[in-house]
Amino acid sequence: MRFHNKTVVVTGAASGIGRATALLFAAEGAKVYAADIDEAGLAQTAAESNGEVHTVRCDVCKCEDIKALMDRAAAETGGIDAVFNNAGAGGDMAKIDEIEPEGWDRTMHLLLRSVAFGIRYAVPHMIGRKGAAIVNTSSVAAVGPGYSPNAYAVAKAGVLHLTKTSAADLARHQIRVNAVQPGFINTNIFTTSLDVPKELEEQAKGAILMMSTAAQPVARAGQPNDIGEAVLYLCSEAASFVNGTSIIVDGGLTIGPRHSWDPEVPDLFEALRQMKAAAEAQAS
């Protein structure tokens, strides 16, 4: 019960990583304020909980909604101990030579400005709370290209930098700020972001499961709880010396090129070793 009597706010809590994390926090004693635009999904999160998940409709693209969320959580419980700024979607899919300003701005508002103002409006309610901590959802897309569309990757890299600069700003209040960088996690984000039609959803989910199982050295699909466990650690007393940094939770997806860990993929050095061995065998 690491979060007994603590107030925790989780955005994007109607599905995937946010839902799993909200449920983990509640199971460890927290009073959780679960926020999202998807009210049916929120109701499902609350139904799966132990009764300590309180749902709030909040569009993180609207700063007034974020402020109302934080103010309500604090008014009802006396303050906020932890915030998980996590809501998101795939953002604009266009390449840099095709993207329009509206799509760029929408993506930045959803994935980056939302995190800045999640911090902005939570902090007044976190000052003086012992062990106060914020975690922001970045992504392996912040490592480099190839994991997501352009605008998403840039926003998630921004989240990493915002995490560091905010940890510096909030040192004077002794509030820690960290990020988590999920790899390929089996959630609805891919079907939602690509607007996959209802009738193709199950087929698409099957394909996503297959791809996500084979994408990284750990031979299983990443699950929302894998991220939730890292978030709870970062918000816990055990992480009281961890600040302004990020944990990559990706089963090894980003350790290096695929040939470095997958024996099925041709590796130049292995090929050269074999050529040399064959030449030596022939010479002897």
Ligand X SMILES: NC(=O)c1ccc[n+]([C@@H]2O[C@H](COP(=O)([O-])OP(=O)(O)OC[C@H]3O[C@@H](n4cnc5c(N)ncnc54)[C@H](O)[C@@H]3O)[C@@H](O)[C@H]2O)c1
Catalytic residues, which ones?
A: 152
| 105-134: burial string, b at 16+ Cβ within 10 Å, e else | ebbbbbbbbbbbbbbebbbebbeebebbbb
Q: Is 14 in the site for ligand X (CB under 6 A)?
A: yes
225 binds ligand X (CB under 6 A): no
Instruction: Kindly state whether residue 89 participates in binding ligand X, applying the rule CB under 6 A.
Output: yes
CB of 32 to ligand X, least distance (A): 15
3 state DSSP class of 180: strand
CB-nearer residue toward ligand X: 15 or 166: 15
228 interacts with ligand X by CB under 6 A: no
Query: Closest approach of Cβ 268 to ligand X, in Å?
Result: 30
User: Which residues, numbered 162-201, are part of the site for ligand X (CB under 6 A)?
Assistant: 182, 184-185, 187-189, 192
Binding-site size for ligand X (CB under 6 A) equals 29
- Hey, which bits of the chain come out as E strands? 7-11, 31-36, 53-57, 82-85, 133-137, 176-182, 246-249
Nearest to 186 by CA among 203, 167, 208: 208
> Any contact of residue 59 with ligand X (CB under 6 A)?
yes
Which amino acid is residue 2, in one-letter code?
R
DSSP states along 20-43: HHHHHHHHTT-EEEEEES-HHHHH
- The answer to whether 110 contacts ligand X (rule: CB under 6 A) is yes
CA nearest 234: which of 97, 137, 129? 137
Q: Is 60 in the site for ligand X (CB under 6 A)?
A: yes
If one asks whether residue 61 binds ligand X (CB under 6 A), the answer comes out as: yes
Binding site for ligand X (CB under 6 A): 11-12, 14-18, 36-38, 41, 58-61, 86-89, 110, 137, 139, 182, 184-185, 187-189, 192
